[in-house]
Amino acid sequence: MILDGGLREFIRRADAVFPPDYLSQPPARQREMYRDLCRAFDRPRPAGLTIEERSVPAGGHEVPIRIYRPEGPAPQACLLYMHGGGWVLGDLDSHDGVTAELAAEAGITVIAVDYRLAPEHPYPAAFEDSAAVLDRVAADVENFGIDRARLGVGGDSAGGNLAAALCLRARARGGPALRAQVLVYPELGHGMTEAGRTKARDAPLLSQDEMDYYARAYLGPSGRTDDPYAAPLLAEDFAGLPPAYVQAVEYDPLRLDAEAYAASLTEAGVAAQLEVAPGLVHGYMRARFISAAAGRAFDNLCAAARRLLAAD
């Protein structure tokens, strides 16, 4: 049961932004709604951050990135962060508050990736853009002012999917070396199974029907794939992947994804911490300033990123 009054207010305001038929709207209109929701809960960036805009070449186009550097000497630990939004919604601005606060609270450089969106750019576009940024950052750590030995990947929801996929790719290619993966309510492919589709099917803010829509936008009409880079839970082996912090929330059809992924890592001998935040819903990070429970979960996320990456 959702008892936190601030979270209930967040759900009410989010439902007011997204009408029941919003999935029937064109993607451009959905993105406008999402921007409205994000702006409604924005706060000023924390003090003491240096912000830099750059772009990275990727197969004939440029991928915009935004770099958040907290005060302190270089080189710094770094988290490459992919935003959520079902591979359809979101950009650097939608998650600016989240990534800025993560950098400030964890004491690490955060590099946010503005990957191409579906359905205009279906899989593997978002994955390839994210991989191109990771490769460039890892190859030019001096220019980015980061510590090669303390580079990790992370993201929320669809961004968590991309981060986990980058870990599989790095293992298969023998690099870049990754210190950690930090995943928040990630979409990892469990929803493609019948067991995954029955858990919290009608949860607030993200239902299974909505997840099906986003999967079709990203993967094509079937919404299914046998490619682990699109659905990391399909990997045959999880050994040798980076240590992980995986955060799930109680009321979310993606909770099983997080639980299954953390269990698979642990069984393969990978250090993995699973946190299931009680009473929270998908997208809770936007409510962190009005909900005590959301604020605690976000603090735990920042502490985990600091522990995994910032420690010498």
**Catalytic residue (choose from 4, 156, 252, 257):** 252
Backbone angles phi, psi at 18, to 5 degrees: -105, 105
Q: What one-letter code names the amino acid at 73? A: P
Q: Is 135 a catalytic residue?
A: no
Q: Is 299 a catalytic residue?
A: no
**Catalytic residue (choose from 94, 130, 157, 291):** 157
Q: Is 121 a catalytic residue?
A: no
Catalytic residue IDs: 157, 252, 282
